Chain A
């Protein structure tokens, strides 16, 4: 059988997400939507002194969109705004197929989505969470 990238990491984050819940005490919240396919997430962050101290999301959509948001939160919770933005840049470049192996390691589990660079129809699913994060961080000087 042809291998798919719907491997254990991805399906686990989709079916048993760690961060898919409402977040008490969040101070930033933003909805991200892919209208054409119906992927929809609301990302909530608790940012204190320039650091993402907690985060969560709720939403519906394909496995890639949901698991990607979950893996993103794994990565950025506990990071400063600047570090999160740097990881976001690496992730978005990974989706374009433009990163080094070292950079890929920095993305930890989120790197399982690197194959999306060969799947143009799924790019917007993979980046939905990251773009929503970007909008929050760009707009809010926390």
Chain B
């Protein structure tokens, strides 16, 4: 456990990230985080010292590659408290994990009249796969809405779920509003109706401790690259009994037991879901990223990120003509501040911030139906990590404060 309570601690953490510097304020961590040197070195070391095709070679190098790859699987299992490593399937990213579920579970086990329930605050990657599943199976896609504070109430969820609901898929932490959904409660309600519960952990897993047994979710999808690991490695956790009854999503090498001219017997979980050569270096990088996160500890991460969020929320909320989407309480935002500025298009906002070396996201954040519910088409988002600093937030706030003037609006002096 380390501490991030003072500038020296934060400076030490920042120095672990080769790309971070005092010039550029990187405030787009919900899109992807930067990578510490330990992660970059681990991935490189895999190629330098143990590269071979894992899971098939009979020579020492391939055994080393296999050990590294399977070791990463164990690290992930312990990180989210899965019962066993076999419940961890490596994918490319959250999107692929959710597509695996839609194709393998949704399209095989759903039929006409069944219902899929998702929330209005889903990222398109946890929405479009279910739209397609509904179209192909005749199931009905239903939505549970959030209130104007970005909260999904238990009452709203109870009203939306039914005995026809077969799948509930919901983000644990909104990539737009920063809302942390009570997936433990919602999963329990879903189970009472006989539905499986899929949690999208893309935004939550990097920032809050996630224990799949405690939450009792049936599936959890997340990406490595949003939690300091390389791009191209993602995770699908699934309860073993569910993964076992699901047919493979991709067919080919490394996912079979035996093959005849007509048929094939598939490998056991998780390998039946990992067709083709795997991203072993990515998995090794993820292993290192988890160790990096654990070396700081979620207690310190949450304390630091919540303090930064509160600092940023207060600074931004004080800027005239700036409106933060979702809750009016900083503690509900978990590092994510999405906002609009009167009369200035978010792409202009992001461009002007870029000229001041401040990196933010602008657009619809892959959540167009949510944007519509909040009556906006496009917004700007600043998203924080523990390695961000108060100085970076001061720069953001100063730039945003001057922005309307820079765009030619003649606001009266405050």
A residues neighboring B (CB under 8 Å): 1-4, 6, 8, 11-12, 14-15, 36-38, 61-64, 119, 121-122, 125
Contact = CB atoms under 8 A, between A and B. Distances in A.
B363 A37 contact: yes
B154 interface: no
A6 B352 contact: yes
B327 to A, nearest CB: 25
12 contacts: A2-B355, A6-B351, A8-B408, A11-B408, A37-B345, A37-B363, A38-B364, A38-B377, A38-B378, A61-B345, A62-B347, A63-B407
A119 B408 contact: no
B351 A122 contact: yes
A6 B407 contact: yes
A37 B378 contact: yes
Interface of B: 343-348, 351-352, 355-357, 363-364, 377-378, 406-409
Contacts, number: 52
Contacts of B344: 63
Nearest to B402: A1
A126 to B, nearest CB: 11
A36 B363 contact: yes
Q: Across the A-B interface, give the 8 residue pairs with the lowest CB-CB distance, nearest first.
A: A11-B408, A62-B345, A38-B377, A2-B355, A62-B347, A4-B355, A63-B348, A15-B408
Contacts of A36: 363-364
Contacts of B345: 37-38, 61-63
B351 A4 contact: yes
A64 B407 contact: no
B363 A6 contact: no
B363 A11 contact: no
B231 to A, nearest CB: 20
A14 B347 contact: no
B395 to A, nearest CB: 12
Contacts of A122: 347, 351
B407 A37 contact: no
A59 B343 CA distance: 13
B408 A14 contact: yes
Contacts of B347: 37, 62, 64, 121-122, 125
